Structure 1
Amino acid sequence: MIIQVNTDSSIENDDALITHVESVVEKALGRFGEKITRVEVHLHDENAHKPGDHDKRCVLEVRLAGLQPQAVTEHADTTHKALAGACDKMKSLLDSLLGRLNKH
């Protein structure tokens, strides 16, 4: 599973952030690893440097072998919370999607 991290200009894309994102995604989606070819994580601060509630956004796009890409979005106060929420949503989506495919 390839994990690609993209950020906007207001979020510093450093090694610590990349390491954190990779560990959270691996932990949340690792059991789907054989089906997932690539995960793209897009982190945005919608208000840039102004304070605000739920202004951090994480879009998580998962490319599945032989299937259409799936994406979820989560807004939160911090990028870490947005990432965790998006991973939870994606885990539920993949459970549902792959569960239905396995029944057929």
Structure 2
Amino acid sequence: MQIQFNTDSTIEGHERMQSHFTETISESFKRFEDKITRVEVHVGDENNEKFGLDDKRCLIEVRLAGKNPIAVTNHADTIEKAISGATDKMKKLLTTTFEKLRTY
């Protein structure tokens, strides 16, 4: 499973953040790793440098082997919360997706 991490120009600490969250995401999706070919994480600040509630965004797109990609988005007041929320949403979506495939 390959994890690609992308940030916009307003996010600082790209390398440190990338290594930390890559490890976290990899661990979270470990049980699905044989079915996932690539994970793309896009992190950004929608208001740039202005203050705003829930203006940090994390989009996670998962490419599944032989299936269409699936994606989730989460907004929060910090990058950490945005990534954590998006990771939780994706785990639930992956679980639901593979349970539905198993019933057919």
User: 1:20 deviation in Å?
Assistant: 1.5
Structure-to-structure mapping, 1:14-93, within 5 angstroms? 14-93=14-93
SS at match of 1:25: helix
State which drifts further: 92-101 or 11-20: 11-20
Whole-angstrom CA distance in 2 between matches of 1:65 and 1:51: 40
2:6 is matched with: 6
Gaps of 5+ in 2: none
Q: Is the 8 A contact 1:7 1:13 kept in 2?
A: no
Paired-residue identity, %: 52
Aligned length: 104
Q: Is the 8 A contact 1:73 1:86 kept in 2?
A: yes
Instruction: Show structure 1 runs of 4+ deviating over 6 A.
Output: none
TM score, norm. by length of structure 1: 0.95
Whole-angstrom CA distance in 1 between matches of 2:76 and 2:56: 5
Q: What amino acid maps onto 1:59 in structure 2?
A: L
TM score, norm. by length of structure 2: 0.95
What is the alpha-carbon root mean square deviation over aligned residues?
A: 1.0
Q: Is the 8 A contact 1:6 1:13 kept in 2?
A: no
